[in-house]
Amino acid sequence: MADHKFRRIATEEAFTIHEVAEALRGVARAPGNSIDLTLVRNIYDAPPGRDLNNFLSRLLDLEGERLAVMDELGVDMHVLSLTSPGVQMFDADTATTLVERANDRLAEVIARHPTRFAGLCGFAPQSPKRAAKEMERGIRDLKLNGFIVNSHTNSEYLDDPKFWPILEAAEALDRTLYIHPRGPSDGMDKPFRDYMIHGAMWGYGLEVGTHAVRLICSGLFDRFPKLRICLGHMGEGVHFMLWRIDFMNTAAQRGGRVPRLQMKPSEYFKRNFVITTSGMESDLALDFSLKTLGSDNVLWAIDYPYQPTAPAVAWMDAVPASDEIKHKLYHGNAERVFHIAPQDR
- pLDDT at residue 253 in the model: 97
Spell out the SS3 assignment of the chain: CCCCCCCCEEEEEEECCHHHHHHHHHHHHCCCCCCCHHHHHHHHCCCCCCCCCCHHHHHHCCCCHHHHHHHHHCCCEEEEEECCCCCCCCCHHHHHHHHHHHHHHHHHHHHHCCCCEEEEECCCCCCHHHHHHHHHHHHHCCCCCEEEECCCECCECCCCHHHHHHHHHHHHCCCCEEECCCCCCCCCCHHHCCCCCCCCCCHHHHHHHHHHHHHHHCCHHHHCCCCCEEEHHHHCCHHHHHHHHHHHHHHHHHCCCCCCCCCCHHHHHHHHEEEECCCCCCHHHHHHHHHHHCHHHEECCCCCCCCCHHHHHHHHHHCCCCHHHHHHHHHHHHHHHCCCCCCCC
- pLDDT at residue 345 in the model: 60
Contact 249, 273 (CB under 8 A): no
User: What does pLDDT average to over the chain?
Assistant: 96
- pLDDT at residue 269 in the model: 98
Catalytic residues: 303
Per-residue pLDDT tens over the stretch 137-147: 999 999 999 99
**Is pLDDT of 297 > 50?**
yes
CB atoms within 10 A of CB 255: 8
Domain boundaries along the sequence of the chain: 9-337
**Is pLDDT of 228 > 70?**
yes
**Is pLDDT of 49 > 80?**
no
Contact 188, 207 (CB under 8 A): yes
Return d(Cα 234, Cα 298) in angstroms, integer. 8
Of 3 and 207, the structure prediction assigns the larger pLDDT to 207
- pLDDT at residue 55 in the model: 94
Per-residue pLDDT tens over the stretch 235-284: 999 999 999 999 999 999 999 999 999 999 999 999 999 999 999 999 99
Contact 168, 266 (CB under 8 A): no
Contact 95, 20 (CB under 8 A): no
Task: Find the mean pLDDT for residues 68-77.
Answer: 98
- pLDDT at residue 51 in the model: 63
* CATH numeric code, 9-337: 3.20.20.140
Return d(Cα 214, Cα 259) in angstroms, integer. 11
Res. 344 pLDDT band, cuts 50 70 90: confident
Task: Find the mean pLDDT for residues 292-302.
Answer: 98
Per-residue pLDDT tens over the stretch 143-201: 999 999 999 999 999 999 999 999 999 999 999 999 999 999 999 999 999 999 999 99
- pLDDT at residue 1 in the model: 47
- pLDDT at residue 46 in the model: 86
Res. 47 pLDDT band, cuts 50 70 90: confident
**Is pLDDT of 13 > 70?**
yes
Return d(Cα 155, Cα 88) in angstroms, integer. 10
CB atoms within 10 A of CB 78: 28
- pLDDT at residue 3 in the model: 63
**Is pLDDT of 2 > 70?**
no
